[in-house]
């Protein structure tokens, strides 16, 4: 559900793709080239959660955070259920990107909790168990099997 | 505006001079009129400061407690000590926007207002300083070479507007600070480290800067070429165009 919504972010020139993580850092959705696999984004998500925790210690939640690297930027938009993250070039059209983040965040936010459950179940192999899989684990690529 | 990363302009040519009775304003005036491109260490008692001259302007200054214009004004208050050229890392961008003339005027005014006016100029330069004081200081407040991409209002950002400022060396030691650095420095260092790790995971090397917007304030982090980390906290309503431009955000 989330991934097609995220695809709209690429309408803005300079956006490579985007992903969504929950407040706890779990990956909830992505629209990025295949080189960014779920395991990497899960690690990134955990660090984003920690970064948020560190920056917001003792104060209000942040609205937006931008990190500039040598050739790229990473935008984090804080939303109620997580963070919408956009990977861009350094020359991205900032006002257009902010508008896209606002619109996408609005649509993505209500879907985060369910999507995160589905994504986690497919990106992290379940521990070996003899018990029958739960209904929530019976998903394939975000869709109920 | 870019600056050379490192300069060794301490020429071997010329005289080594020791002047008794000269003041720091005299010295600044001489260096600026000579279009100096050098860094000087100023020592006064237990205090140490640095002044960076580029193309005849004071573009950066540093003391234990201040950076930029406030540091330059603090140094200019010192009444005795020694000055020597040195080689230290240049800032990524100038931190002083005022002309040297304006700095001297502000320094002189500060001394006047403190009731301890003992500014002594070289005889030949007294008239110059007097004439400059008579000039409307607002006209001298900024250099007449602003970056074309920055609106004039964004250049008025000064250290006074910062709620907190801290510069950390690569080992995390505080180089200079203003405000509540004890609380701010760990947050800045940890956040920068996480940003670097996030960048590495995503294949994006070279963490440069970070801006974080809160409802009531903004936080900027910037990794200087020297490896030092600069962290700034300022009110949400502050004009930050100049900072964004400097930090490439």
All structural domains of chain A with their residue ranges: 2-121
Chain B CB within 8 Å of residue A53 CB: no
Among B39, B236, B21, which residue's Cα sits nearest to residue B122? B21
Q: How far is CA B143 from CA A4, A136, B28, B100, B182, in A?
A: 51, 65, 17, 9, 35
pLDDT higher than threshold 60 for residue B151? no
pLDDT higher than threshold 60 for residue B149? no
Residue B31 pLDDT: 85
Chain A CB within 8 Å of residue B197 CB: yes
Tell me which chain B residue has its CA closest to the CA of residue A18: B202
Burial class (CB within 10 angstroms; exposed 0-12, middle 13-18, buried 19+) of A90: middle
Least confident of A11-25, A108-122, B114-128, B173-187: B114-128
Return the half-sphere exposure (C-beta side, CA atoms, 13 A cut-off) of residue B56: 6
Partners of A56 on chain B (C-beta within 8 Å) are 214
Boundary of a domain, candidates B145, B168, B183: B145
Chain B CB within 8 Å of residue A107 CB: no
Residue B223 pLDDT: 94
Of A44, A59, A70, the CB nearest to B205: A70
B114 band by pLDDT with thresholds 50, 70 and 90:
low
Chain A CB within 8 Å of residue B190 CB: yes
Are B70 and B175 in the same domain? no
CB contact under 8 A, A74 and B209: no
A21 bridge partner residues: A27, A83
The domain defined by A2-121 folds into: Beta-Lactamase (3.30.450)
**Could you give the ipTM of this predicted complex?**
0.80
Residue B8 pLDDT: 44
In a domain, B152, yes or no: no
pLDDT tens-digit map of B202-244? 998 899 999 999 999 999 999 998 899 999 999 998 888 888 8
Least confident of A96-100, A108-112, B109-113, B139-143: B139-143
CB contact under 8 A, A62 and B201: no
Shortest alpha-carbon distance between residue B79 and chain A (Å): 42
B113 band by pLDDT with thresholds 50, 70 and 90:
low
CB contact under 8 A, B199 and A67: yes
Are B104 and B52 in the same domain? yes
d(CA B43, CA B80): 8
Given a cut of 70, the residues of chain A with pLDDT beneath it are: 116-145
B158 band by pLDDT with thresholds 50, 70 and 90:
low
Chain A CB within 8 Å of residue B201 CB: yes
pLDDT tens-digit map of B72-101? 988 998 888 888 888 888 888 888 988 787
In a domain, B151, yes or no: no
Tell me which chain A residue has its CA closest to the CA of residue B188: A55
Are B163 and B242 in the same domain? yes
């Amino acid at each position: 559900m989330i991934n097609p919504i995220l695809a709209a972010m690429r309408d803005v020139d300079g956006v490579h793709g985007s992903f969504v993580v929950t407040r706890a850092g779990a990956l909830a959705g992505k629209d990025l080239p295949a080189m960014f696999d779920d395991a990497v984004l899960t690690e990134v998500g955990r660090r984003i959660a920690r970064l948020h925790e560190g920056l917001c210690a003792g104060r209000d939640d942040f609205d937006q955070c931008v990190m500039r690297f040598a050739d790229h930027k990473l935008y984090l938009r804080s939303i109620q259920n997580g963070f919408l993250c956009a990977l861009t070039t350094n020359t991205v059209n900032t006002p257009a990107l902010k508008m896209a983040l606002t619109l996408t965040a609005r649509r993505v936010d209500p879907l985060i909790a369910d999507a995160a459950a589905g994504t986690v179940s497919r990106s992290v192999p379940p521990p070996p168990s003899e018990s029958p899989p739960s209904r929530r684990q019976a998903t394939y690529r975000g869709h109920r099997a | 505006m870019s600056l050379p990363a490192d300069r060794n302009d301490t020429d071997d040519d010329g005289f080594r001079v020791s002047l008794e009775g000269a003041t720091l304003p005299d010295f600044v005036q001489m260096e600026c009129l000579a279009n100096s491109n050098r860094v000087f260490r100023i020592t006064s008692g237990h205090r140490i400061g640095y002044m960076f001259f580029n193309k005849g302007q004071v573009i950066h200054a540093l003391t234990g407690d201040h950076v930029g214009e406030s540091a330059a004004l603090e140094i200019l208050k010192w009444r005795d000590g020694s000055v020597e050229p040195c080689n230290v890392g240049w800032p990524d961008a100038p931190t002083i926007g005022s002309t040297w003339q304006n700095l001297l005027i502000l320094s002189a005014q500060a001394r006047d207002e403190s009731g301890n006016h003992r500014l002594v100029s070289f005889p030949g330069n007294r008239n110059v300083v007097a004439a400059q004081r008579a000039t409307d200081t607002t006209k001298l407040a900024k250099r007449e070479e602003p970056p074309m991409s920055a609106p004039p209002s964004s250049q008025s950002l000064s250290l006074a507007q910062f709620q907190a400022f801290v510069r950390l060396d690569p080992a995390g030691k505080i180089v200079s600070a203003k405000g509540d650095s004890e609380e701010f420095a760990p947050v800045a260092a940890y956040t920068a480290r996480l940003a670097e790790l996030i960048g590495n995971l995503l294949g994006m090397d070279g963490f440069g800067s970070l801006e974080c917007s809160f409802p009531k304030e903004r936080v900027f982090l910037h990794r200087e070429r020297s490896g030092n980390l600069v962290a700034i906290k300022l009110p949400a309503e502050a004009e930050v165009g100049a900072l964004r431009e400097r930090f490439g955000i």
